[in-house]
Amino acid sequence: MKWMYSLPWYISSPDLGALFVHAGFVSGIRLAKQNPRLMMNMRSILPDGTVTSKFFNNWPWARLWDGPQTVLFGHDADRGLQQYEHAIGLDTGCVYGGRLTACILPEKRLVSVNAKREYFKYRRKHYD
């Protein structure tokens, strides 16, 4: 665990105009000020600004990300592939027997392959 905590919370690639993060960012907050817990767990931002790891149908955080960098992220298999102007969600549920998806940069070309099997039982949790 010590080794994992020594790794960066996100990776920036200025040459590609891209940021890579496990779960997400809160728009309007400088990268250096982002909360590591949220970068690892967030899924939704509610109308009142509350950031949550829960899935709310109409409130994906990525919809609000205004760039300029494109964020590539995962941790949101319930929504599957997400494509917004400045964010691409690549979690297509491979661990649940879905697909493994990658984004080829800089052209943002998506490629995916089927999972070989279901590695973990899928439990969908939705909040409206």
pLDDT in tens, 34-73: 999 999 999 999 999 999 998 887 899 999 999 999 999 9
CA-based R_g, the chain, Å = 15
pLDDT at residue 128 tops 80: no
**Taking the model in full, what pTM does it have?**
0.91
Distance CA(32)–CA(55), nearest Å, equals 26
3: helix, strand or coil:
helix
Rounded to whole angstroms, the Cα distance separating 111 from 124 reads 25
Structure tokens at 108: 């943002």
Phi and psi angles of residue 83, each rounded to the nearest 5 degrees, phi first: -135, 115
